[in-house]
């Protein structure tokens, strides 16, 4: 059994109402929903999916997953 903790790969989930369906500009930045920071993509995806499904009736609502670990360590996101 391996007791080594998994490497943290933080991901941010956030979203809000967009101005246009084909864009990524928010209607009101003060109302952006900061869902949270998650330790890996799987956890972030679960949170993203729940928020996306909860707002399915509003076509302008979008939620995003940001790979924070790639911003903190750009080499981390590149293939070896």
Distance CA 26, CA 61 (A): 9
Distance CA 78, CA 80 (A): 6
Per-residue pLDDT of the chain (80 residues; tens, 9 = 90+): 566 677 889 999 999 999 999 999 999 999 999 999 999 999 999 999 999 999 999 999 999 999 999 888 877 655 44
Is residue 3 situated within a structural domain? no
Is residue 4 situated within a structural domain? no
Radius of gyration, CA atoms only, the chain: 15
Q: Tell me which residue range forms the domain holding 21.
A: 11-77
- Tell me, what CATH number does 27's domain have? 3.30.70.2400
Distance CA 40, CA 72 (A): 14
Q: Is the dihedral of CA 41, 42, 43, 49 positive or negative?
A: positive
Q: What is the pTM of this model?
A: 0.83
How many structural domains are present in the chain? 1
Is residue 6 situated within a structural domain? no
Is residue 38 situated within a structural domain? yes
């Amino acid at each position: 059994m391996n007791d080594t903790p998994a490497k943290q790969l933080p991901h941010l989930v956030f979203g809000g109402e967009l101005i246009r369906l084909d864009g990524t500009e928010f209607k009101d930045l003060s109302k952006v929903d900061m869902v949270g920071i998650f330790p890996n993509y799987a956890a972030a995806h679960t949170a993203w999916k729940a928020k996306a499904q909860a707002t399915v009736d509003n076509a302008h609502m979008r939620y995003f997953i940001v790979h924070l670990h790639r911003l903190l360590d750009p080499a981390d996101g590149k293939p070896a």
